[in-house]
Amino acid sequence: MMAGRRPVVAGNWKMHLDVQGAAALARDVVRATSLARWCDVAVMPSAPLIAGVARVLEGTSVEWGGQDLAAEAQGAYTGDVSAAQLVSLGCRWVIVGHSERRKYHLEGDDVVKAKTVRALGAGLTPITCVGEQLSERKAGQTLHRIETQVRFGLGGLAPADAERVVIAYEPVWAIGTGETATPAQAEEVHEYIRRLWASMYGDTLAAKVRILYGGSVKASNAAELMGQKDVDGALVGGAALSANDFGEIVKAARV
Ligand code: 13P
């Protein structure tokens, strides 16, 4: 982390909890993070749980967002959630192109790009995810894979959007596996993404864009990961379901 970039700690609750459980967790997250003024803190519940969570978080320092959005503005898209609907729920954030969306819903970089642009246009801050498979890492193709995802999923943005978008590096082999990238492995990719951003959008925007790490972030490894120069926060899955653990990760984001 570097002074000048405000850290982000975001909790991806994935397809867990129900209305009551989500509201209870949101209350506990407020308590566990109430003194955190040094970073943006947000939680992303499943779409049907957002309204209840919003009622709890309204007026607190914890923000909320969606886990996905439709690329289209509105229309006959059964089951999808629009950017405007998220905005009407008070969302400030939305995760885009998570590897679970890429895997189970076959979202490619073109869809990721369209969703990212849609989110930005609606005033949401997208957290757009990139990350290599284990086989790609083993084959020495990590940086090549990341470059493709960043260029095709996040290329051609307006400068103001290229500053606002948040990128999450989530190596697929580290998600939900308990196996975390080492701080050096994370930093290598984060630094690469920032250099790529410089080549796409210039040095000034590259110095400003926030790049989060995700993949088995825990209270015990968060400080070391976020202590890396180009790691500006965390996208937390499993550990975000414990308010205490999530609170510890938020504390670790203090520069
Ligand atoms: P875990 O923290 O459970 O590995 O999940 C990471 C993730 O996918 C966050 O989006």
- State pTM to two decimals: 0.98
User: With 80 as the cut, is the pLDDT of residue 3 above it?
Assistant: no
Sign of CA dihedral 158, 159, 161, 162: positive
Q: Phi and psi at residue 226, in whole multiples of 5°?
A: -75, -10
Tell me the pLDDT tens digit for each residue of 4-48: 899 999 999 999 999 999 999 999 999 999 888 899 999 999 999
Please tell me if the CB atom of residue 130 comes closer than 6 angstroms to any atom of ligand 1: no
238 lines ligand 1 (CB under 6 A): yes
Fold of 134-162+172-237: TIM Barrel (3.20.20)
Q: Tens of pLDDT along 245-255?
A: 999 999 999 86
Amino acid at site 239? A
Interval between CA 13 and ligand 1 midpoint (Å): 9
* Domains in the chain: boundaries: 82-129, 134-162+172-237
Average pLDDT over residues 165-187: 94
Mean predicted confidence (pLDDT) in 100-116: 98
The C-alpha atoms of residue 140 and residue 232 are separated, in whole angstroms, by 25
Protein residue whose Cα sits closest to atom 1 of ligand 1: 237
> What residues act catalytically?
98, 170
User: What is the reported pLDDT for 178?
Assistant: 86
Mean pLDDT (the chain) is 97
Q: Is 236 in the pocket of ligand 1 (CB under 6 A)?
A: yes
